[in-house]
Structure 1
Amino acid sequence: MSETLTQQPASVEATTAKELDVLDQLMKPEIQKSLTDLVENLPKLTEMVTVLTKAYDLAQTVATDKVLIEDMKNGLGEFVKPIQDKAKGIASAAIEANDRAQKDSSTIGLFGLLKLLKDPQMQKMFRFTQAYLDVMSERQNQR
């Protein structure tokens, strides 16, 4: 029975060992310098933590606000829908033009080219091409 009274539980011994380790760590000069630096910078750290806490609270509020999320989703949908419709229109026109070009096996001669040059869509394409090449040339000369 005297043996059981003199023995301490393992958790008490582990706690004491940990406390000694902490005290040993605190005696090291580099740890003391780090603690001094930490204490000197506490006002800055407090300010940073406050800002981060406010940012976190705002993000949490935004992330959990179902009305805001739904409004953002609808707004984004209204913005993307016209772009999506235009892209679909361009893609379908390209597919249809490719199908027509595959079916047509006629050759385009000199007079056919001259006739094409007068087409308003070709003129528009040539003006765009010329303007694009001018812009690219200007940008290359600026370098």
Structure 2
Amino acid sequence: MSETSAQQVLAPVEAATAPTTDVLDQLMKPEVQQSLTVLVDNLPKLAEMVTILTKTYDLVQNVVTDRVLIEDLKGGFDEMVRPITEKAKGLASAAIEAGDRSQAESGTIGLFGLLKMLKDPQVQQTLRYAQAFLEVLGERRNQQG
């Protein structure tokens, strides 16, 4: 019985000293000692970095879990995107309608029809835009070549 109790007492002691021996063996290696020296030298910087990371983590955690802030951001984004979406939808519907009208018209546009179209302010604006666009493309091509 004393033999069993002695084994029970020694088993935890042996188990506790085995990892300690491994740690001591590791600490005796020169590269481990050099790494520890570098760590100790940089402890103030590491502490500052950990503090900043902790604050950043806390801030991100607060932002991610704040439903009111998320809804406000979503609402602001929607308000910013809505006008662009509506304008794009308007342009798309105008292009579709123009395509339908051009398919329905079977007449040819003659010289006098073209001259009449040139008086239209929308045609003038489109022609000015096309001219400016082509000038810009020409300038860029000259700069590259």
* TM-score (ref. length: structure 1): 0.82
Question: Whole-Å Cα distance in 2 between the matches of residues 99 and 3 of structure 1?
Answer: 102
Root-mean-square deviation (Å): 2.3
Greater mean deviation of Cα atoms: 133-142 or 80-89? 133-142
Q: Could you tell me which residue of structure 1 aligns to residue 84 of structure 2?
A: 83
Question: Whole-Å Cα distance in 2 between the matches of residues 94 and 128 of structure 1?
Answer: 18
Greater mean deviation of Cα atoms: 99-108 or 38-47? 99-108
Q: Kindly provide the amino acid, as one letter, of the partner of residue 75 in structure 1.
A: G
| 1:80-123 per-position Cα deviation (integer Å, ceiling 9, x unaligned) | 11111111101111111111222223222333333322222111
Question: Whole-Å Cα distance in 2 between the matches of residues 129 and 111 of structure 1?
Answer: 22
Q: How many residues end up aligned between the 2 structures?
A: 142
| 1:3-30 per-position Cα deviation (integer Å, ceiling 9, x unaligned) | 5333654x76555333222221111111
Question: Whole-Å Cα distance in 1 between the matches of residues 136 and 87 of structure 2?
Answer: 25
Q: What 5-or-longer segments of structure 2 have no aligned partner?
A: none
Greater mean deviation of Cα atoms: 79-88 or 100-109? 100-109
Question: Whole-Å Cα distance in 1 between the matches of residues 13 and 103 of structure 2?
Answer: 88
Question: Whole-Å Cα distance in 2 between the matches of residues 135 and 13 of structure 1?
Answer: 83
Q: Which secondary structure state, in structure 1, belongs to the residue aligned with residue 73 of structure 2? A: helix
Q: Could you tell me which residue of structure 1 aligns to residue 100 of structure 2?
A: 99
Question: Whole-Å Cα distance in 2 between the matches of residues 86 and 79 of structure 1?
Answer: 12
Question: Whole-Å Cα distance in 1 between the matches of residues 92 and 3 of structure 2?
Answer: 89
Q: How does 1:60-71 map to 2 (within 5 A)?
A: 60-71=61-72
Q: Could you tell me which residue of structure 1 aligns to residue 17 of structure 2?
A: 16
Q: Could you tell me which residue of structure 2 aligns to residue 72 of structure 1?
A: 73
Q: Report the Cα offset of residue 130 of structure 1.
A: 1.5
Q: Report the Cα offset of residue 2 of structure 1.
A: 5.6
* Alpha-carbon distance change, 6 to 99 in structure 1, aligned in 2, over 3 angstroms: same
Question: Whole-Å Cα distance in 1 between the matches of residues 130 and 14 of structure 2?
Answer: 84
Q: Which secondary structure state, in structure 2, belongs to the residue aligned with residue 96 of structure 1? A: helix
Question: Whole-Å Cα distance in 2 between the matches of residues 13 and 132 of structure 1?
Answer: 85
* TM-score (ref. length: structure 2): 0.81
Q: Kindly provide the amino acid, as one letter, of the partner of residue 107 in structure 1.
A: T
Q: Could you tell me which residue of structure 2 aligns to residue 32 of structure 1?
A: 33
